Each structure stands twice: as C-alpha cells, then as structure tokens.
Structure 1
C-alpha cells in the first residue's frame, strides 16, 4: 500500500545488507513514519512483544524473518549445535504473543523445513530465508484475494442502495499495517473503493492502544478513503440509527468451528450488529485458523498485557510525542487484549478461498484437506 504515494510493505529484507530486516515501527504512527532495522532474533522478539509490529499476519511474517535472523546468529560448529540454537530461538519467538496463531504457525513451518532437510548449515540458512519470503508473499497474496471476495459483499450492498454510500464499521486495525500488505478487514474496502464503489468507514478508536484511531485512520487517509473516527462505544448507537450497513473485523485466531478471537471489544460489536440485523463478517487468511480448537471461548488463551497501556494514553503535544496518565496513580488495571466472538454471531468468514459460514461445515467446505483431522466433540 502507499505512504505519501510510495508503495511499502510492512516488513522486508534490506536490499544492501541481507543480515538486516526492515520494519515500520508502528509505535510512532500516525505522527512519525519510522523504519527500524533488526539484525538479531532477540531484537525481533522485542519488536513483536512491544508491538513495534502487530497484527496476526504481520507477526507471523515477523516470526518467519526472526527465524531467518536466528539462523544467521546460531552456532554453526555442527548441525546439532545449529538446531539447538534454532529451537531456542523458536521457543523465544513463540512466547512473545500467545493469542495469534500465525506466529507459532510460521515458526513451526520453518522448523519443519530445516528439520526435514539433511543439508548443510548454509543450506538450512537458505531454507530459512526462502521460507520467510514465502510466508510474507503468501500473506500479501492471501490478503489480496480476501479483498476480491469481500468486495462482492460491498458491491451487493451498494447495488441494493442504488449506489448510495456504503457505511462500513471496523474495529482495531486489520489493515495492511497488521499484515504484509492489503490487510484483511480493509482489503475488501480498498478493492471496492478501487472499483468506484462509494464507501465510508467508521473507525473505532480501539482502546487501550488506539490502533483504530492511530493506524486504521492513518491507512485510510493515505489511500484517500473517506472515514470517521468514533469512540468504541458509539458503534451500537450508529447501528440503531441506520448509519452502518456492514461490520468487517479481522481475527487473531479463529477456530475451525467459527469462533473468532480478535481485539477486545469485537464481541460487543457483534452483539450490537446482531440486535440491529446488520451483517457481521470476519476477514482472515487460512494461517489464522486453529484446526485444533473446537471451543474458542473456553480454549483460546487470552493475552493480558501491562496495565500501563490503560493507565496512560499516548499522543502528540506541541510537536512532541508524550504519555499522559489518565487514571488515579497506581490504579489496579485488568488489560485483556482480546475477546472471543461465538460463531453464532458471525455472518460469514472471508478467506482467500472464498466466503463461508462461520461453522465447522463451512470452514471444512473451503478447506477439505482438514477433514478427518480436526478434534471431534
């Protein structure tokens, strides 16, 4: 996607130094556009933990490149020593964010690739690099396809409104900043807008880290798409008054039965949409499915983050980025990062293979290779 008219991905290998991975440091957006250079797996792990990079697809790609950086710094004295170091880095990277399944999927994909190969250390390093590039390229391609499928929904609504503006509400940031390119929830919007459909996006601020107000709004502004930032709790009011035609969110982990873990507050949007008869879609690549979990509410681990994210709010003051305390000093805080929306509240899942009902039969109809392997009730 574009930044000041220049196309970017969210993560890429430095063209002049193959030992350096570049990322957009999202902590400074929307006020500063800063590119950060990473050269060790520890730096990548810190970037994921502290949310220099965030979003299900992007942290999967970041973990892939983290494994590549690990291969460059691992002990090369023997194959066994190399693999021990790689396993240690894999464990460190997987521990950075527990909810999004893309991260562990990417790490395991690379571990499987180098474990199955009896090649030299140098060959295994090449496998790590090729796999990291493949993970990133697949993520971008899958998101592009999600846009094509999801745009059909927006086009249908536009036709039913005789070309009038289609008002779409989204939550958090499931845009290209959360993936390698295009995004998931935003990809259908970008595609429909590019096809000439009149769209407007209601952007939840998404407390406590404000990824909607800071990231989604910035993205849409860069692409020239009309949007309005709203406080998180305004969505229900807008739905009651006919000001929302469609809700699209992303997902950090979706069970094969259709339960969706996403940024905290998503469940409340789904409830409001159901009460007002508004379609609620979730856009996700196949790497976000968890084919081992049947009951998302019970079994998806929910990350609890530092209370400082709630106590303080960050912003620009007199051209300086600063943090401001908004609670009484040392207030107790429960900072749940995600919630789970039950499948019964989800109209459909938009994937790179098409759109399906949020149900076991729906997901398996698009991904039949998993039939017979998912856990039974």
Structure 2
C-alpha cells in the first residue's frame, strides 16, 4: 500500500516542479519579428551585431520572442531600412544612423560625426550621459525607438586610387563617404557618394569613384578593396567610433510586454560589447595580411586633418543656425564631448601615449 506520506511528498514535489519552471515559459506570448539590416550577410561582424541581438533575445525568452535578421536587400535596400521601420513594413532594423542624414542631419549623432566621440565616450553619452534621452524626442518624430546595438570602434580612413599629400588633392575626388562626413568633405572640394556596402567594390573597380571608406581591415579585406585601390589611409577621423543602432517601430515597441522590452535592451547592450571585442581581435591580423599582400598604409597628412577639423565645426554651426533639432542635440553632445576630452587627456591619453611610444621604441630595437 502506498503511504499517505509518500503521496503527500509526491504532491509537494509536483508543486515544486511547477513553481520552479521559468515563469516566462508559462505566461509569455509568442512574438515573431523581422529585422532588416543595412549590411550584407558576408560581413559577419557588422551584420552579426544585429544577428547577435536576435539570437540573445530568443535565448533569453526560451524562444518565445524570435527576431529573424535579413541582410541588406532581402526585405528592403540597406539604405531604406529607416523608412521600413517608420511605416511598419518591418518591426525593426539594424543600421548606422548617419545613412539617413539626407532626411535630417540630426540622425548623425546616433551614429558618428567627424572629430567626435571615441567608443568609450559614445557609450558613456548614450548610456549615462543623457544622449539617448536627448535623441528620443527626435526619433519619435519618425515613429522610431533607437537602441544602441554594436560598435565598430575607430575606423580607417579608406582606400584611395591615388595618394593624398595636400588638401588640394581632395578637390574633385569622388569619395564614397557616408552622411554628415560627406558634407564636411564637400567643403574641401570632395564629391561625396553614398553607396551601400555591397555596391562599393564595383564602383571602385570601374573608376566610378576614386576612393571609398567602409569600416576597417577585417571588413575591408572581405570586400576586397585592396584589389582595386593601393593606398589605405588612417585614421577615419569622421568615425572615431560608430554606434550601430537597432531601430524599432514605436508602436511595436509599446506592444511588447515589459519583460520583453528589457530582454531586447539587454541583448542590444550585449551586442555592443561583443561586436567591439570581435573587431579588436580581428582587425590587427587583417591589417597585417593586407600590408603583407602589398597594401600601402598611409597616415592622412596633418594639413588635411586640420582643414577637415575646421570644416567640420563650421558645418555644425551652419546647420545649427538653420535646424533647431540639430542645434538641441549638438549643444548637448558638444558639452559632453568637451568634458570627456578634458578628462581623457589626463588619464587615458597620457597612458596610451606613453605606452605606445615605448612599444614603438621596443619595435625599433628589435629591428
């Protein structure tokens, strides 16, 4: 005969098992979203930043909330994903905000602006410095919620078919360069071209453009730019850091249960760390391979960078005089930038400058 004690124990064990089951598996709805990326699947790091968000969301919700990432062109062209999110064609998109400065140059602050913030500064501004809050009102006008979701770090200056020795060499240069950076370069005679990542190689190969910037050695090597342009310039002073964004349709974001919203935010934060770490691991080896294969690495002349610096801040003042949305964000961003620069000169820059100098000395001695 089965004792009452055993039956009671079994009942309690069953109750405990039920209570131990994840609450999310019992109460959470099943939701399916589509994510349109601005990047080709072949670029596993930058496309992968959005894909990472999707995978983390699924993992953290026991597959109740699933997002399928589509590369540029499969759902909508890469440079049209903001429109697709705004009008609800897709629930979300993974992109770089400066692609949409033709709508309003204020978009650039969510991605990168010339001579702006490095990766640490960017994360500080968006996460703790009020940057995301000051941008929220702007994005609401486009029916978009923007969440930081990846970062490339400081980028390279790009691939050139001819050397750049003076500011005069920029005049008439057809340069694939995105967003507000193109407007800055235009002040120095450059003819900026905004071209999606997958279309850059044929344009450079055919001579439709004279130069192109993308991200850095790992991605650039995959796209094969070294085969059609010999000179590789650094640094990409228009992108001391590039924040990648997950654009979410505002109505769809508001429909999410609070738990799912927190999961989505958490997955995006994780992607920011993961993507930057991948680039920091992959770029050094890729640069060595490119140089070994004949790429001619060149620093931008100081004269060129100084002229661009002057042009950039003249441009910001000009836009601010005409665009109150830009002015509001710019003034907040500029105050934060100035404060961070002052602090980093004391700590990070002093350390980096000395450590890299000593590294250079050691390398010379080994030769």
Same fold (TM over 0.5): no
Q: Please identify which structure carries the higher strand content.
A: 1
Say which one has the larger Rg: 2
Q: Please identify which structure carries the higher helix content.
A: 2
TM-score normalised by structure 1 residue count? 0.28
Which of structures 1 and 2 has the larger relative contact order (alpha carbons within 8 angstroms, sep 6+)?
2
